[in-house]
Amino acid sequence: MSTTLTPSTFPMSPVAAALMTKQRFFKPFLIASIKQTMKEQHVSGAELARRTGYPYTTLQRKLAGKSKLYVPDVLHFADALDTLAAEWFENMEAAAEWIVDSLGSAAGLDDVDALANGLEVDPYELLKATMDARTAGTVNLLQPALVRVITRRLRELGMTKAALASAVGMHPTSLSARLNGRQPLDTAEIDRIAAALGIGTAFDLINLADLDAEQVTR
Instruction: State the average pLDDT for the chain.
Output: 80
Asked if 61 and 27 count as a contact pair (C-beta separation under 8 A), the reply is: no
Higher pLDDT, 205 or 21: 205
60-83 residue pLDDT tens: 999 998 888 888 889 899 999 999
pTM of model > 0.85: no
Is the CB of residue 157 less than 8 Å from the CB of residue 213? Answer: no
CA pair distance 67, 16, nearest whole angstrom: 19
* pLDDT at residue number 91: 84
> Domains in the chain, start-ordered, CATH in brackets?
7-119 (1.10.260.40), 139-217 (1.10.260.40)
Check: CB of residue 12 under 8 Å from CB of residue 89.
Answer: yes
Cα(5)–Cα(66) distance, integer angstroms:
18
pLDDT value, residue 213: 74
For residue 89, the model assigns a pLDDT of 87
The amino acid at residue 107 is: A
Q: What is the pLDDT of residues 133-165, one digit of tens each?
A: 665 555 455 778 889 999 999 999 999 999 999
Instruction: Please state, for a pLDDT cut of 70, what percent of the chain lies above it.
Output: 79
25 phi, psi to nearest 5 deg: -95, -35
72-115 pLDDT, tens digit per residue, is 889 899 999 999 888 888 888 888 777 766 655 555 666 777 77
For residue 212, name the pLDDT band (cuts at 50, 70, 90): confident
Residue 209 has pLDDT above 80, yes or no: yes
Distance CA 163, CA 143 (A): 21
